[in-house]
Amino acid sequence: MFTRHVNRWKLGALGVLAISAVVAGVLASAASPAPNRTAATKLTGAGSTFVFPLVSQWIPAVGSALGIDLTYAGVGSGAGIAQITARTVDFGASDAPMTSDQFSACKGCVQIPWALAATSIPYNLPGLTKQVKLTGPVLAGIYLGQITTWDAPAIKALNPGLALPSTKITPVYRSDNSGTSYNFTDYLSTVSPAWKSKIGVGVNASWPTGVGGKGSSGVSGVIKGTVGAIGYVDIAYALSNKLQVAAIKNKAGIYAQPGLRGIAAAGATVKTVPSNNELHIVDPPASSPKAYPICTFTYIILPTSSSKAPDLRKFVFWALTKGQTYGPKLLFSPIPKVVLAASEKTLKQVQG
Amino acid sequence: MAAAPSALTPSRRLRRRKRTEKILAVLASLSALLAVSVLVLVVWAVLRRGAAAFSWDFFTKSQAVFGQSGGGIAPAIVGTIVLIFWATLMAVPLGVLVAIYVSEFSSPRSARLIRMTLDILNGVPAIVIGIFVFGLLVVGHGQSGFYGSIALAIMMIPLISRSTTEVLALVPRSLREASLGLGVARWRTVVSIVLPAAIGGIITGTILAIARIAGETAPLLFTSSIAANSVNWDAGQPLNSLPLTIYTYSESPSPSDHAQAWAAALLLMMFVLILSVTARSLFAWRQRRTGATGG
Amino acid sequence: MTTLAAAFVVALVVMIVYEVVRQAWPAIQTFGISFVWTDVWNPIKGEFGAWQFIVGTVVSSFFAILLATPISIAIALFLTELAPKWLRGPVATLVELLAAIPSVVLGLWGILVLGPVLASDVEPWLNKWFGWLQVFSGQPSPVGMLNAILILTIMIVPIVSAITRELFLRVPKELKEGALGLGTTRWEAIRGVVIPYCGPGIVAAVILGIGRAVGEAIAVAQVSGNGTTIQRSFFAPTNTLAAKIANSYQGAATKLEGDSLLYLALILLILALFVNGAAQVVIRRAEKRGVL
């Protein structure tokens, strides 16, 4: 340690002043009227960042409509499943359906589809006049590291008349365990046998190339900051960050957009819901010409036995019905009736 | 200078040596300049971008709903205060007691063992401490501000112990011996005579330890990261914190999140800076008052 | 009561080591020691190995300390020998303030300020002039190994320079004056007398700096790009033990993945303790020889 010739009193006074100022500001905020939390139940959930935009709209609404104090942390679908399994939260949220191993580890959990949206493919190529068109196999080629520049022949062939630069492509993936990754790898595995055998489907993969971002936020951030980047992220994030998204060719041969129509069309292909509520709607059949091929339902995961069961049921029922009306402006399409019926039926299993 | 008085011009070798010296002096100065410039760059970035986002809302509101800008970090400010409060409350008694043991009551062998243990504890990476507390306490029970404080306290203990032992060693032996000679019991001597003499140093050490952990993110990642978006003084719940807020916002694509991250960083740095300067002034003041040296 | 406190602290350390080993044990049983040199991390197929993270940790820390050591020694020299007296206090304080910057704030600066500069100016320049070196080839990127190395360097410099400065201050005046009296220049006195005298201390400071770099999770997680493979280029994303744990621990999809992450934590702990222990050994030896 060494000495300093400083007027200690002046510094001390300054320090005290500064600290008091902050404390005063903070106390003022504590004293200001808090939202309706007097007799409220607290519900804490964690998981998917995909559904975070929608849930964050729900929080104030649920507070005033149901008197429930909702907390939700977007930590990734994988973390959501882990947290509810460890019962460190009241509910989990995941875009990836739970595996049978996860179900048994969770000791009496159910998954309920409660929202429907698209995984968009944003990219960062400033100065392009038209939207980039891509297909599933080309996307797989990009993420496998086989297609490395934007002016590669494979991409050029899909976009005649578009002046693609020779910029290197930086594929961006989720570094955390993500349901959006599950959705994306599910799609790639369906359309690309090479992807299926080399990598497979999962909440995280051994990505051969590219840069990782944490959470949907992180991926959007990397894309925004890297020219030539391409990634996969819930459409709400691409929208709010004004990222250009690619049109993806569906089975009908049409380059579909991740908009409400494309999402609703994909969702409408669900005819029956299996008993564990696991739904896959990637690459829907050609009978749905407008369907966007990379859509997913996202699930809330509830313990069948919980001390907060009545409030959980109240909340989820609200989310399945009234909550869906908050969706469209964030490009969440209301869940189809057949899924709603299955969800409500499963919800009844949540008891105290 | 080493030139022999009779030489009129320096030899070639001497010129070369002097040139080397000059070059190295320049290099050394440039390095120092580099370090200072980087610091200035970082602090300036934080200052400029952070101050721009300072507003009354920033200090008093909670996080805005997704997609909207505005809002503030009041929950994080409060959370950090509460977390630090409990961490300090847990770490100081423990750290001071251990230091007293080492300096007053233990045998030289045990003292060495404890010192080594404290050094080991100091060397455990913060993320491992976070995992430790998570695995031990959070699993099955949920996160809470207390668990976060515990993780922070574990990091503070070696720092407080070390500075306390240093300051205890400065208390003159004569003081202890006089007290013992008067028949005062050992522990009483420590409590009534030695500790009060060391209190200034203990406070300084505590302030420095707080400055050290105020910005720690890793211990809180698994113990207090899923928190309600509202001001909360209750440490039984998971609490927001400035470092975690900065971490989350730093990876976000939204410019308004970035602005708030800078502002939170500015707040944190101001806090740490004030603490460090206060501790240093205290130390200098104590030194001048007691005329003690070393440390 | 104080004995209790001391015993508690010892118990705490033992508990930490025990807990980490215990939680990593299932992964240790599954993979054995070969986990350490296996270069794969495939959550889908359930194959895990620590090698890429160990390499990332070692490379980033090594180059960070490589950059930081000469800078730190130079700063210490500047502050003890070269600077005019009035400048020493303020500059020393400023360097100390660098140590006070929380790592998450440095990471923030790394992502939002340093990253873009690296991608648009520094890395293309390095590529242009030194691209024949594999480490400077490849696609410039705002996040990656280079960013991580620079941020770690900024973190280490204050630590190493503060310790080195103290060491230089403690060199007995007679030693320096003796050398100067013999006709050396100041640099030669420093090189021939001061540095060897402080040698063990500087080594210890460097080792402590390495320890800091090895254990840093947050800032590295922010700027490293979360790579999944070992790349030759410094521009490419990388990953370290600590950053991987910070990113993935909470969300492990399978029990095996969670256990493997704890195995990573165990390796990190062993590495950190080893580095820390090495510093202690050097310090004790130097103390015994009376030079510290």
pLDDT value at B125 more than 90 = yes
Mean pLDDT of C92-114: 87
The closest alpha carbon to A122, from A45, A209, A7, A224, belongs to A224
Query: Rounded distance, CA C78 to CA B26, Å?
Result: 9
**Least Cα separation, residue A341 to chain B (angstroms):** 29
Chain C residues whose C-beta sits inside 8 Å of any chain A C-beta: 40-45, 89, 92-93, 111, 115-116, 119, 139, 141-144, 221, 225-229, 237, 247-248, 250-255, 257-258
CB of A176 within 8 Å of any CB in chain C? yes
Are B138 and B228 in contact by the 8 Å Cβ rule? The answer is no
* Assigned token pair, A155: 């991409």
The closest alpha carbon to A94, from A46, A48, A44, belongs to A48
A95 lies within 8 A of chain C by CB = no
A202 and C139 in contact by Cβ < 8 A?
A: no
Where does chain B have alpha helices with state H?
A: 12-53, 56-60, 74-100, 108-123, 126-133, 145-170, 173-181, 186-189, 195-213, 218-221, 242-250, 255-290
CA-nearest of C261, C250, C269 to C28 is C261
Three-state SS at A171: strand
The pTM score is 0.87
Token digits for B64?
Answer: 């805005």
The number of C-beta contacts closer than 8 angstroms across B and C is: 234
* DSSP label of A253: S
Calpha distance A205→A203 (Å, rounded): 7
Per the CB < 8 Å rule, is B230 touching A29? no
Which among A104, A226, A227, A230 is the top mutation candidate for probing chain C, defined by the most C β-carbons within 10 Å of its own β-carbon?
A226
Phi, psi dihedrals of residue B207, rounded to the nearest 5°: -60, -40
User: What CA–CA distance (Å, rounded) separates B134 from B141?
Assistant: 10
Encoding tokens for residue B158? 């070696």
Q: How far is CA C132 from the centre of its chain?
A: 27
- Asked if residue B295 has pLDDT above 70, the reply is no
Best mutation target, A150, A175, A196, A198, to test chain C (most C CBs within 10 A) = A175
- Asked if this assembly's ipTM is beyond 0.95, the reply is no
- Interface subset of B 82-101, CB within 8 angstroms of A: none
Q: Does A215 touch chain B (CB under 8 A)?
A: yes
Name the β-bridge partners of A295: A118
Beta strand A233-234 with A109-120 is antiparallel
pLDDT in tens, C22-68: 988 999 999 989 999 999 888 888 889 999 999 999 999 999 999 99
More confident residue, B73 or A295: A295
How far apart, in Å, do the first and last CA atoms of chain B sit? 36
Q: E strand or H helix at A42, and its extent?
A: strand A41-47
Which pLDDT belongs to residue A29? 42
Interface partners of chain C (CB pairs < 8 Å, 3 or more) are A, B
CA distance B153 to chain C (A): 12
Q: Which is nearest to C143 in space by CA: B49, A221, B245?
A: A221
Greater confidence (A329 vs C284) lies with A329
Residue A97 contacts residue A279 (beta carbons within 8 Å): yes
Please name the member of B132, B154, B222 whose beta carbon is closest to the beta carbon of C19: B132
CA distances for C214 relative to A263, B14, B77, B227, C33, angstroms: 46, 44, 29, 29, 21
- Residues of B whose CB is below 8 A from C10: 113-114, 117
Mutate to test the interface with A, among B54, B57, B58, B60 (most CBs of A within 10 A): B60
**Lowest pLDDT segment from A328-337, B63-72, B255-264:** B63-72
Q: Distance between alpha carbon C283 and the CA centroid of its chain, in Å? A: 19
Backbone angles phi, psi at A115, to 5 degrees: -155, 160
Interchain pair A6, B271: CB under 8 A: no
Using CA atoms, how far residue A217 sits from A53, A119, A237, in Å, is: 11, 14, 7
A296 is written with which tokens? 């997913």
Contact state of B250 with C111 under an 8 Å Cβ cutoff: yes
**Closest B-chain CA to A14:** B274
Tokens representing residue A245 in the block: 């998204």
* Residue B40 confidence (pLDDT): 86
Beta strands (DSSP E) in C161-280 are none
Amino acid at B54: F
Q: Are C115 and C147 in contact (CB under 8 A)?
A: yes
B 61-80 residues with CB below 8 A of C? none
CB–CB contact C242 B94 (8 Å): no
What letter represents residue A146's amino acid?
A: Q
> Per-residue confidence of chain A (352 residues) as pLDDT tens digits?
333 434 444 445 444 554 554 455 445 444 443 443 445 688 999 999 899 999 999 999 999 999 998 989 888 888 899 889 888 889 999 999 999 889 998 999 999 999 999 999 999 999 888 999 999 999 999 999 999 999 999 999 999 989 999 999 999 999 888 889 999 999 999 999 999 999 999 888 889 999 998 888 889 988 988 899 999 999 999 988 899 999 999 999 999 999 999 999 999 999 999 989 999 999 999 899 999 999 999 999 999 998 899 999 999 999 999 999 999 999 999 999 999 999 999 999 998 7
Q: Between A167 and B283, whose confidence is greater?
A: A167
